[in-house]
Amino acid sequence: MARLEPRSPNGPRAELAAGSPAPDPQAISRPTFLVSGTADALAHPEVITRFFAQLAMDDKALVVIRRAGHFLLFQRPRWRFAALVRDFLLAEETSQPAKRSGVVEQHEGA
């Protein structure tokens, strides 16, 4: 079995394996943007969707990108991922949370 390094992308897996609690979605009070890929083997879209539904605030967004995995920033849809993050942050800057409240979108991972 591969050794899990706490400072590597395996860090969260090591924390969970050690019994660290998962984040409580009810305790999150800041605008939240979740992005998942349909091929994500580490954070399955079904789990992310359930987590998203439990977030208490209205200022939230979830995007699921088809055929994308866990490391979106390094995969083929990285430019789409970057544009989605930019749009979310710009909406926050211009105080337009209603444009993304409860939004669940699917984008092609090309």
The reply to whether 93 falls in a domain is yes
- Give residues with Cβ within 8 angstroms of 22, minimum separation 6: 16
The reply to whether 90 falls in a domain is yes
Structural domain boundaries enclosing 55? 31-107
The rounded distance, in Å, linking the Cα atoms of 83 and 79 is 6
The reply to whether 60 falls in a domain is yes
Token pair 């200022």 is found at 59
Q: Which two tokens stand for residue 101?
A: 């409240």
The reply to whether 39 falls in a domain is yes
- Count of domains in the chain? 1
The reply to whether 46 falls in a domain is yes
pLDDT digits 0-9 by tens, 75-99: 777 888 888 888 888 876 666 654 4
The reply to whether 7 falls in a domain is no
Residues of the chain with pLDDT under 70: 1-17, 19-21, 92-110
